[in-house]
Chains A and B, each alone.
Chain A
Amino acid sequence: MASKFWTQGGSDTEEEETDIEDEIENGGAGEATAAAAGSRYLQANASDSDDSDGQKRVVRSAKDKRFEEMASTVDQMKNAMKINDWVSLQESFDKINKQLEKVMRVTESDRVPNLYIKCLVMLEDFLAEALANKEAKKKMSSSNHKALNAMKQKLKKNNKQYEELINKSRENPESEEEKFEEEEEEEDEDESGSELEDPSQIPESSDEDDEGEELDDDAGDGAWEKKLSKKEKLMDREFKKDPSEITWDTVNKKFKEVMAARGRKGTGKFEQVEQLTFLTKVAKTPAQKLEILFSVISAQFDVNPGLSGHMPINVWKKCVQNMLVILDILVQYPNIVVDDMVEPDENETQKGADHDGTIRVWGNLVAFLERIDNEFFKSLQCIDPHTREYVERLRDEPLFLVVAQNVQEYLERIGDLKSAAKVALRRVELVYYKPQEVYDAMRKLAELSGDGEKDGDETKVEEARGPSSFVVTPEVVSRKPTFPDNSRALMDILVTLIYKSGDERTKARAMLCDIYHHALFDEFSIARDLLLMSHLQDNIQHMDVSTQILFNRAMAQVGLCAFRVGLIAEGHGCLSELYSGGRVKELLAQGVSQNRYHEKTPEQERLERRRQMPYHMHINLELLEAVHLISAMLLEVPNMAANSLDVKRKVISKTFRRLLELSERQTFTGPPENVRDHVMAATRALCKGDFQKAFDVINSLDVWKLLRNRESVLEMLKAKIKEEALRTYLFTYCSSYDTVSLDQLTKMFDLSDAQVHSMVSKMLVNEELHASWDQPTRCIVFHDVEYSRLQALAFQLTEKLSILAESNERAVEARIGGGGLDLPLRRRDNQEYAPGTGGGGRWPDLSYNQGRQGGSGRTAYSGGGRPMALGQASRDRSSGQSRGTGGYSGRSGSQMDASARMVSLNRGVRG
């Protein structure tokens, strides 16, 4: 782009040359002035080096000498530049760097001399020119060419450390270089001024500059605002002179100029926005206005300093307004087509409003909209959620929804359904996590602010500031979002559109949002069906991280939903995976969890921070933990009681077991404080069959107030606790009883006859309890088939023997190559069986592999992505239970079954 300036024509370059010559003259002849200047420098900059008067003279002369050397090197460079000799330029550059070191040492200051910085600026510009000028590059000799490339890299590396200074010197060279004031003024105009003004067009520019300097002197380097006003004045003057004179051409030329400056160092980002905004007002045709508006928005995006920061909020709002204006134009002039596939004709925008036939304008609405959404998201990530600012920011959401809605409508109208689906997804992602109450609040807010007072004012002010624009665009598209009564309806509309015409990723994300939303509204079966039918569990590992997070969120929400509707096992299945790694926060992107064993690189940390969910979208972690632990308790306590002889066998929730062990190891248990303590206290009560106490402890958790239908959930929970208490009681004490009467049980656990009967019957049928009913007396009669300790040990012995036999077989087979034995069949069994008894020899192995596969960043998320144990309720009958039964159906002993089951369960979970 820089070439535009440099290659304007022969006369310009001549001018340039004379400039440089002037400088050389000055530099060469004016030693005296340089020396004088140098002293001024020293006084200003290196005051700390003035130790004593006597030394001062010596030092000064040394300094002067260094500066002289440097100046002469600069001259050499200038000469080299003139003849385009990169080889000598490179040499000089190395030289000057060495000299710089000396100078720095001599002056003992950390401030780099301006001379050097100026030289760098000069070099950089020249380099840019040389690179841009391809023809000249071709003509270069090979050594010259090589030197050019080497120079390019060196300069880039070198300039990085002085970046700030260079920028400063580019922005306002005059403020720092008073000594070159006179000669430099013209050059100044050429360099920085060229972006805005053609010197020939504005004769009064020198006055302007003086004024500007004054301002700059006052405000120092942060003076862009004032400068901006100056420049605006300039613009105004330029165009105000006589509006009738302004033609499409002038505007277009100006526009091109401004655009050419984009991204160049020294171009103020805000200024550019201002200039472009001004241009929109003087645009001659709607198409031109549109084109410029697109650039305005791009420029507004440029304002954002980096990836981690967010766009200033006022700029964001203006951006949104601009989008709306764009839509106004597009709706008003249906013959204008926005397209980013083909580079449109140079003069396409010249065609006026009355032109019939399509006018193509370059731009991409969807990309802009997505960017706006991202910026909104980022701003919410950055703002402290506990401040008023955050709430204020949240109020801007309807603004975005308006734009999104309008863009979507526009796209649907022109038949671009694929893009419309993308936009719809953005809308879905703003709505899906909102419970009905929040949704209603947003609707109300939208209606209130939708009256458009604030928005209207803003646009009006803007319009009024400049001269009234040539192309007036009435507000055609509505400035008010329309929402259906409930969020489900909105979701349905959007999601249907996406399913019909979205691409794979859009569809998957929409599906996850849909699942989340269903789960939020307690529709477990629908959410489950969607989850299973979409097969998202199977291929979520192959998706991007943000989608995986969404998947984890949906999973967590489904788990909560299952719990609320009383499906404890399903709920546990959904949540246990999340908690298995102990990094829920990370999986849900709700905060950074510290891991003792695994230090994160700053890079990873930054990435992770960028993924965080804004606070208002969080799933309450305490509630989640409570739900997870309570479901684990309800499943695990009777399970432990049933397998009391060998506790290690058949673990449902490892996390829960570990916590329980920890709490049992404590010598003194205080009153429960956090969620974990509460559940542990409840577990202790439940183990003894004391359902009332267990329930009371759990009831005292204050996370329950987060539930909408708190009463009914607690009611359900109480019933479940009673049931499990009954089961636990029976398991624990069945060996002590010969018969237990039904009436006694009903009284003990405050359950109805039918309930107890049904529960006990279930246990009998599943052979969890070796007993049977005696109907006439309404008693449970226990059969004495529980193994005694001796018998149990005997079983364990046989089991171990069989392992021994197997390993023998394997050894023999390895030796003699498995001939006559019927090994193939048995070997298959072995594989099912061996790891389970070998103390889980397979476990660490597996997880290690997984860790390696995923790579460092991915592991965290692939954890949540694995298919969940929902397989039990799944239609996909190949996973989960059924596979488990397949593995060991051939075995006869019940003991062996159990061990085999553990393995298969693990495999079921692992997928």
Chain B
Amino acid sequence: MATYDLTPRIAPNLDRHLVFPLLEFLQERQLYPDEQILKAKIELLNNTNMVDYAMDIHKSLYHTDDVPQDMVDRRVEVVARLKALEDAAAPLVTFLQNPSAVQELRADKQYNLQMLKDRYQIGPDQIEALYQYAKFQFECGNYSGAADYLYQYRALCTNSERSLSALWGKLAAEILMQNWDIALEELNCLKEIIDSKSFSSPLNQVQSRIWLMHWSLFIFFNHDNGRTQIIDLFNQDKYLNAIQTSAPHLLRYLATAFIVNKRRRPQFKEFIKVIQQDQCSYKDPITEFLACVYVNYEFDGAQKKMKECEEVILNDPFLGKRVEEGNFSTVPLKDEFLENARLFIFETYCRIHQRIDMKVLFEKLNLNYEEGERWIVNLIRNSKLDAKIDTEMGTVIMEPNQPNVYEQLIDHAKALQGRTYKLVGQLLEHAQAQPAR
């Protein structure tokens, strides 16, 4: 099932550190040989400062206790550099760690800078050092420290470009620490900056949007309210354009969100058009399922795709998030998805039929007879479905809901009557007003 794995397409749009969770997931699912994944991890770590971790992986990969010399060297180097940066940033860090001193900071950035310079001899160099130090901390895997420093840095920094990259760093750190609420805030903050008109070049803007969307996947599929928000974000014209032009694989997540989220009908129709249009550039069981149900009306195909979707969801690092309940784990999204998908098929199916053989129907919905009957009865009872069950024939019979021609005619005429009366009233009023004047 590695065919539908999106990791290779997603990873280039993520930070190195953000790829780890994906690799962990893949390792767990055993989609790829362990060796490959471990190698990939070492590759990743080579450019970070998490040398100890790399050493561990190296050991487990080659089953030795020896570590290659270059790793050892690198470790020394990293430690030395850490020391240097720490020293450079020390004045500011000590200042920030002193709660009473921090109290003196105000909302006015200019004032703060002046104050730091006058009273603590902290100039732009130290502030810059703080940034470097935070970045280094992040690369070492100390995310909470990095997040703190970056937050402070943003309060002090005047360079908008630097501030932006600090924000990206903060977002990454929060995601890695799984602080979803804070991460969401940072995400919105970042989005505003990207969407602002002053953002550099259009090309750059599109690229930033794509990064943002990729990063946001972590948040949206973990945050409680994420599934609505993902639609809000991804379905905006600008973002949808970015998806279509540069990252069509993101359609999978948007499609899933739409299926799981029932209250998004108007946008859903538009989205179906997008899917239809982009069939040539991206395809996976989830989008194909939607195409089957809403474009081609092939219910057999849809049913097949539904089964495939299950696999895809289980193997997707974002969609297949597990929840441990006692001693067995479930994938909540999978159940929800299947339930809704079934409803989709059934709804469409009912719209074009007046009599349906229940056996065939349940087959299409992957349900057994008893279960199916209960399901349909529930639907009817909740007045979601205008139909009756004929047990003798084993069929469901839909109630026709064609509007009466006469009613339509009367509707039209009524409106006319109302308007004419109003008009006459108006005229009379006017006529009366005239002589008075």
What residues on B are CB-neighbors of A754 within 8 Å? 298, 300
Could you tell me if A775 and B353 are in contact, using CB atoms closer than 8 angstroms? yes
B378 within 8 A of A: no
18 A–B contacts, CB within 8 A, in A order: A533-B245, A764-B351, A770-B402, A773-B355, A776-B355, A776-B357, A798-B409, A801-B413, A805-B416, A805-B419, A812-B423, A816-B426, A819-B426, A820-B429, A873-B277, A882-B270, A893-B411, A894-B408
What residues on A are CB-neighbors of B426 within 8 Å? 812, 816, 819-821
Could you tell me if A773 and B353 are in contact, using CB atoms closer than 8 angstroms? yes
B176 within 8 A of A: no
Could you tell me if B237 and A785 are in contact, using CB atoms closer than 8 angstroms? no
Could you tell me if A877 and B357 are in contact, using CB atoms closer than 8 angstroms? no
Given known pairs A776-B393, A795-B409, A798-B409, the reply for A781 and B296 (CB within 8 Å) is no
Could you tell me if A775 and B360 are in contact, using CB atoms closer than 8 angstroms? yes
What residues on A are CB-neighbors of B179 within 8 Å? none
Could you tell me if B300 and A808 are in contact, using CB atoms closer than 8 angstroms? no
What residues on A are CB-neighbors of B429 within 8 Å? 820
What residues on A are CB-neighbors of B300 within 8 Å? 754
Could you tell me if B409 and A794 are in contact, using CB atoms closer than 8 angstroms? yes
What residues on A are CB-neighbors of B413 within 8 Å? 798, 801
A68 within 8 A of B: no
A761 within 8 A of B: yes
A787 within 8 A of B: yes
What residues on A are CB-neighbors of B422 within 8 Å? 821
Could you tell me if A808 and B423 are in contact, using CB atoms closer than 8 angstroms? yes
Give the CA-CA distance A525 to B298 in the complex, in Å: 24
- Contact pattern, A 109-144, Cβ under 8 Å of B = 1, otherwise 0: 000000000000000000000000000000000000
B53 within 8 A of A: no
Could you tell me if A774 and B405 are in contact, using CB atoms closer than 8 angstroms? no
Give the CA-CA distance A787 to B409 in the complex, in Å: 11
B101 within 8 A of A: no
What residues on A are CB-neighbors of B355 within 8 Å? 773-776
Q: How far is the CB of B424 from chain A (nearest CB, A)?
A: 9
What residues on B are CB-neighbors of A772 within 8 Å? 352-354, 398, 400
Q: Which of B355, B395, B420 has the most CB of A within 10 A?
A: B355
- Contact pattern, B 339-358, Cβ under 8 Å of A = 1, otherwise 0: 00000000010011111110
What residues on A are CB-neighbors of B277 within 8 Å? 873, 875
B280 within 8 A of A: yes
Q: Which residues 858-905 of A have a CB within 8 angstroms of B?
A: 873, 875, 877, 882, 892-894
Q: Which residues 110-146 of B have a CB within 8 angstroms of A?
A: none
Could you tell me if B281 and A525 are in contact, using CB atoms closer than 8 angstroms? yes
What residues on A are CB-neighbors of B356 within 8 Å? 775-776
Give the CA-CA distance A773 to B413 in the complex, in Å: 34
Could you tell me if A529 and B405 are in contact, using CB atoms closer than 8 angstroms? no
Could you tell me if A791 and B354 are in contact, using CB atoms closer than 8 angstroms? no
Given known pairs A787-B405, A798-B416, A809-B423, the reply for A765 and B351 (CB within 8 Å) is yes
Could you tell me if B352 and A761 are in contact, using CB atoms closer than 8 angstroms? yes
Given known pairs A772-B398, A773-B352, A773-B353, the reply for A791 and B409 (CB within 8 Å) is yes
Give the CA-CA distance A765 to B405 in the complex, in Å: 20
What residues on A are CB-neighbors of B400 within 8 Å? 772, 783
B63 within 8 A of A: no
- Contact pattern, B 395-437, Cβ under 8 Å of A = 1, otherwise 0: 1001010100100110111011001101100110110000000
Q: How far is the CB of A706 from chain B (nearest CB, A)?
A: 25
Q: 5 other contacts beyond A816-B430, A821-B422, with CB at 8 A cut-off?
A: A762-B297, A808-B423, A821-B423, A875-B244, A882-B270
Could you tell me if A774 and B351 are in contact, using CB atoms closer than 8 angstroms? no
Q: Which of B348, B402, B409 has the most CB of A within 10 A?
A: B409
Give the CA-CA distance A805 to B419 in the complex, in Å: 7
What residues on B are CB-neighbors of A533 within 8 Å? 245
What residues on A are CB-neighbors of B348 within 8 Å? 765
Which of A's residues lie within 8 Å of B, judged by CB?
525, 529, 533, 754, 757-758, 761-762, 764-765, 770, 772-776, 781, 783, 785, 787, 791, 794-795, 798-799, 801-802, 805, 808-809, 812, 815-816, 819-821, 873, 875, 877, 882, 892-894
Q: Which of B241, B351, B356, B412 has the most CB of A within 10 A?
A: B412
Q: How far is the CB of A771 from chain B (nearest CB, A)?
A: 9
Given known pairs A798-B416, A820-B426, A877-B237, the reply for A774 and B352 (CB within 8 Å) is no
The number of chain B residues with a CB under 8 A from chain A is 43
Which of B's residues lie within 8 Å of A, judged by CB?
237, 240-241, 244-245, 270, 277, 280-281, 296-298, 300, 348, 351-357, 360, 393, 395, 398, 400, 402, 405, 408-409, 411-413, 415-416, 419-420, 422-423, 426-427, 429-430
Q: How far is the CB of A484 from chain B (nearest CB, A)?
A: 25
What residues on A are CB-neighbors of B241 within 8 Å? 875
Give the CA-CA distance A877 to B241 in the complex, in Å: 11
Q: For A809, give the chain B residue with the smallest CB separation.
A: B423
Give the CA-CA distance A566 to B412 in the complex, in Å: 42
Give the CA-CA distance A781 to B355 in the complex, in Å: 10
Give the CA-CA distance A269 to B393 in the complex, in Å: 100
Give the CA-CA distance A812 to B425 in the complex, in Å: 11
What residues on B are CB-neighbors of A529 within 8 Å? 245
Q: For A776, give the chain B residue with the smallest CB separation.
A: B357
Q: How far is the CB of B304 from chain A (nearest CB, A)?
A: 12
Q: How far is the CB of A118 from chain B (nearest CB, A)?
A: 69
Could you tell me if A761 and B297 are in contact, using CB atoms closer than 8 angstroms? yes
Q: How far is the CB of A839 from chain B (nearest CB, A)?
A: 21
What residues on B are CB-neighbors of A765 within 8 Å? 297, 348, 351-352
Could you tell me if B402 and A785 are in contact, using CB atoms closer than 8 angstroms? yes
What residues on B are CB-neighbors of A799 within 8 Å? 412
What residues on B are CB-neighbors of A894 within 8 Å? 408
Q: How far is the CB of B28 from chain A (nearest CB, A)?
A: 37
Could you tell me if A757 and B297 are in contact, using CB atoms closer than 8 angstroms? yes
Could you tell me if B297 and A758 are in contact, using CB atoms closer than 8 angstroms? yes
Give the CA-CA distance A809 to B422 in the complex, in Å: 10
Give the CA-CA distance A757 to B354 in the complex, in Å: 15
Q: How far is the CB of A367 from chain B (nearest CB, A)?
A: 31
What residues on A are CB-neighbors of B352 within 8 Å? 761, 764-765, 772-773
Give the CA-CA distance A776 to B355 in the complex, in Å: 7
Could you tell me if A773 and B354 are in contact, using CB atoms closer than 8 angstroms? yes
Q: How far is the CB of B226 from chain A (nearest CB, A)?
A: 25
Q: How far is the CB of A530 from chain B (nearest CB, A)?
A: 11
Q: For A874, give the chain B residue with the smallest CB separation.
A: B277
Q: Which of B277, B352, B360, B402 has the most CB of A within 10 A?
A: B352
Given known pairs A798-B409, A798-B412, the reply for A805 and B430 (CB within 8 Å) is no
Q: How far is the CB of A452 from chain B (nearest CB, A)?
A: 44
What residues on A are CB-neighbors of B427 within 8 Å? 812, 816
Could you tell me if B296 and A758 are in contact, using CB atoms closer than 8 angstroms? yes
Q: For A533, give the chain B residue with the smallest CB separation.
A: B245
Q: For B396, give the chain A residue with the smallest CB separation.
A: A775
Q: For B393, give the chain A residue with the smallest CB separation.
A: A776
What residues on B are CB-neighbors of A877 within 8 Å? 237, 270
Give the CA-CA distance A764 to B352 in the complex, in Å: 6
Give the CA-CA distance A821 to B426 in the complex, in Å: 8
Q: How far is the CB of A827 from chain B (nearest CB, A)?
A: 13
What residues on A are CB-neighbors of B240 within 8 Å? 875
Give the CA-CA distance A764 to B351 in the complex, in Å: 8
Q: How far is the CB of B275 from chain A (nearest CB, A)?
A: 13
What residues on B are CB-neighbors of A820 within 8 Å? 426, 429
What residues on B are CB-neighbors of A798 within 8 Å? 409, 412-413, 416
Give the CA-CA distance A785 to B237 in the complex, in Å: 39
The 6 A-B residue pairs with the shortest CB-CB distance in the complex, in nearest-first order = A761-B297, A798-B412, A764-B352, A772-B354, A773-B353, A775-B356
What residues on B are CB-neighbors of A809 within 8 Å? 419, 423
What residues on B are CB-neighbors of A882 within 8 Å? 270
Q: How far is the CB of B273 from chain A (nearest CB, A)?
A: 9
Give the CA-CA distance A785 to B408 in the complex, in Å: 12
Give the CA-CA distance A775 to B355 in the complex, in Å: 6
Could you tell me if A892 and B411 are in contact, using CB atoms closer than 8 angstroms? yes
Which of A525, A774, A816 meets B354, CB within 8 Å?
Answer: A774
Give the CA-CA distance A753 to B398 in the complex, in Å: 23
What residues on B are CB-neighbors of A794 within 8 Å? 409
What residues on B are CB-neighbors of A783 within 8 Å? 400, 402
